[in-house]
Structure 1
Amino acid sequence: MSSDMDGTMLLGVEGIKKTILYGGTAEMPRFITGTKVTFHFRTQLCDDDRTVIDDSKVTGVPMEVVIGNMFKLEIWETLLTSMRIGEVAEFWCDVTHTGLYPLVAKSLRRIAEGKDPVDWHIHSCGMANMFAYHTLGYDDLDQLQKEPQPLYFVLELVKVQQPSEYDRESWALNDEERLKAVPLLHGQGNKLYKLGRYQDATNKYKEAIVCIKNIQHKEKAWEAPWLKLEKMGNMLTLNYCQCLLRMEEYYEVIEHTSDIINQHPGEMKAFYVRGKAHIEVWNEAEARADFERVLDLDPGMKKAVKRDLGVLNMRMEEKNEEDKVKYKGMF
């Protein structure tokens, strides 16, 4: 049996032919949900010249996918899991497997160009948008989108890491794991905050917020599960704002807390944190209004608010003194 045949049988999937160009080493790696696979890929048309569409070696950055993580081009998982480390193989795939390639290629090219892979400005329903013929921003991909065709993928398997062997970034987690990660990240953030490492703490809070937002957008807005996540997200955002206060990013604090207040006018802590930011930028009226709202929502905050109003009065006096000095020379 030729190795070519052997490869084709091995995959057991219609519409794929595998040819091993360079044999890999050792036994087959273990591929389970959560395994991270690093590889190089070259995509070619099935024309006489075998025209190259994409080649990760040109950008120099290999591709990474996490098995079972719903990567858009599912067929690549199938192809990769038939390979050994160091193996280079060519796969011919028919149209049933290559239809989504132009979309995936667009994302990969945008990432390689250092752009955000998602076009946030396309608001109407994503799928409908795709079918109403609309340019992907690359002529060759537009062509492929209009006339889907079989493609050759030449893959080189570089590295296979089991879930325990690499630091799983939050994008590589499924929803259940994301939810479990949130309290851990929250705790790490709090610890870093106490140590005065505010920048590091913001990164942990941010990662936790991203986890929550990722799950939340699958829930129905304003229903119980969504609200529970919203509450967690707001709490983390306010912790994040406490770090920003320490880092003197007052305007950003005002922006984030105002977002929360607009959605949830009863969120006492948001008013409190915003009031503190207003003090630092001498917004006297706004600070007083926020602290009044805090006391309406929670009279138990009286002592804290009194202390903050003391700080506000001191800030305003300092500013008045400075202004006097500044304007004295003018008249």
Structure 2
Amino acid sequence: MQETMLLGLEGIKKTILHGGTGDIPKLRTGAKVTFHFRTQLCDDDRTVIDDSKVVGTPMEVVIGNMFKLDIWETLLSSMRTGEVAEFWCDIIHTGVYPLVAKSMRRIAEGKDPVDWQIHTCGMANMFAYHTLGYDDLDELMKEPRPLYFVLELIRVQQPSEYNRETWAMSDEERLKAVPILHGQGNKVVQTRTVPRGYAKEKAWEVPWLKLEKMANTLTLNYCQCLMRMEEYYEIIEHTSDIINQHPGTAKAFFLRGKAHMEVWNEAEARQDFSRVLDLDPGMKKAVKKELALLNVRMEEKNQEDRNKYKGMF
């Protein structure tokens, strides 16, 4: 057993429990790190808070992908493959752990890690609900403590060594993937066939649904970028594709309405904004703002037309 300090970082102590092999891997941006972790309190019993081995699935982190507990990237960068090490981390590094653990536990339970959230930051969510849903995490949030992280580094895969899903891509890579994913999603919906590598016993189960949802989400994000680029007709085309498949997608109607407004399609814009209100009353404020802008712009255009044609007849 060898104890060392991670140089240059305050509030961290490392104890190697089992030595690894080879050189310390370089954790480049985009590299995927697979590891087991155990989180323990700094009490006499070393009370276990979370343990990935109990769940039965190791943790995966993509370097540079804004994982909320970024201290883990630092800890892992000091380890060799196969190494098991214990890290004592002071409060300055552990304050956000309860929020991260909440999401990890929900994933382990087969639940959406974010569907519990209001559209605010994690800290605001806690105050909105007064609880994270787990007593031990609530206690840890109220009274932050130093923690022990026992990490076992299983493998490091560089970006070229694995097929990256969209969550592991950079913003630029996601934008490039949009047309491909959107086309795959359309094909899946139309044919009810899952692309090779996604096959299951029933084609309507999770894989094609996830692919379709992913493609549509990326496309809508892409349309927001196109809005800044003033590519309004392309937005209308993409959002119309989604609406044809999923007529209940309020965001698609909203973006298409904005695009119609920009190209002076008043009737179509009003129709889309009206549909948004039917589908999602919570967007009333946003729709009201766009309709007010539409009214102003149409009045300006009508006045311009009146001035242009004044005296012609």
TM-score, normalised to structure 1, is: 0.65
Choose which of 152, 155, 176 in structure 2 pairs with 1:156: 152
Q: Residue 149 and residue 228 in structure 1: after superposition, are their counterparts in 2 closer, same or farther (change >3 A)? A: farther
Amino acid at match of 1:40: H
Residues 42-61 of structure 1: CA deviation (Å, up to 9, x unaligned):
00000011110000111101
Does structure 1 conserve the Cα–Cα contact (< 8 Å) formed by 2:52 and 2:59? Answer: yes
State the Cα distance separating 1:30 from its structure 2 match.
2.3
Residues 100-133 of structure 1: CA deviation (Å, up to 9, x unaligned):
0000001001111111111345245654344578
Match of 1:113 in 2: 109
State the Cα distance separating 1:184 from its structure 2 match.
3.0
Match of 2:2 in 1: 3
Alignment of 1:249-288 (within 5 A): 253-256=246-249, 260-261=252-253, 264=256, 266=260
> For structure 1, which segment, 126-135 or 223-232, has the greater mean C-alpha deviation from structure 2 after superposition?
223-232
Match of 1:56 in 2: 52
Match of 2:205 in 1: none
CA RMSD of aligned residues (A): 3.4
Using the alignment, how far apart are the partners of 1:55 and 1:85 within structure 2? 19
Please identify which structure carries the higher helix content. Answer: 1
Using the alignment, how far apart are the partners of 2:51 and 2:22 within structure 1? 26
Residues 46-92 of structure 1: CA deviation (Å, up to 9, x unaligned):
00111100001111011110000110001000001111111100000
Identity of aligned residues (%): 63
Residues 142-172 of structure 1: CA deviation (Å, up to 9, x unaligned):
1100111100000011121111111111011
Q: Residue 106 and residue 126 in structure 1: after superposition, are their counterparts in 2 closer, same or farther (change >3 A)? A: closer
Residues 271-298 of structure 1: CA deviation (Å, up to 9, x unaligned):
9xxxxxxxxxxxxxxxxxxxxxxxxxxx
Gaps of 5+ in 1: 245-252, 272-331
Q: Residue 149 and residue 215 in structure 1: after superposition, are their counterparts in 2 closer, same or farther (change >3 A)? A: farther
SS in structure 2 opposite 1:264? helix
TM-score, normalised to structure 2, is: 0.68
Gaps of 5+ in 2: 196-207, 272-313
Match of 1:31 in 2: 27
Does structure 2 conserve the Cα–Cα contact (< 8 Å) formed by 1:73 and 1:101? Answer: yes
Alignment of 1:47-196 (within 5 A): 47-120=43-116, 122-123=118-119, 126-130=122-126, 134-188=130-184, 196=191
Does structure 2 conserve the Cα–Cα contact (< 8 Å) formed by 1:98 and 1:149? Answer: yes
Q: Residue 113 and residue 191 in structure 1: after superposition, are their counterparts in 2 closer, same or farther (change >3 A)? A: closer
Using the alignment, how far apart are the partners of 2:233 and 2:34 within structure 1? 35
Using the alignment, how far apart are the partners of 2:222 and 2:186 within structure 1? 22
Q: Between Structure 1 and Structure 2, whose CA radius of gyration is higher? A: 1
Q: How many residues align?
A: 249
Q: Residue 239 and residue 215 in structure 1: after superposition, are their counterparts in 2 closer, same or farther (change >3 A)? A: closer
Match of 1:316 in 2: none
Match of 1:288 in 2: none
Choose which of 204, 216, 221 in structure 2 pairs with 1:209: 216
Match of 1:315 in 2: none
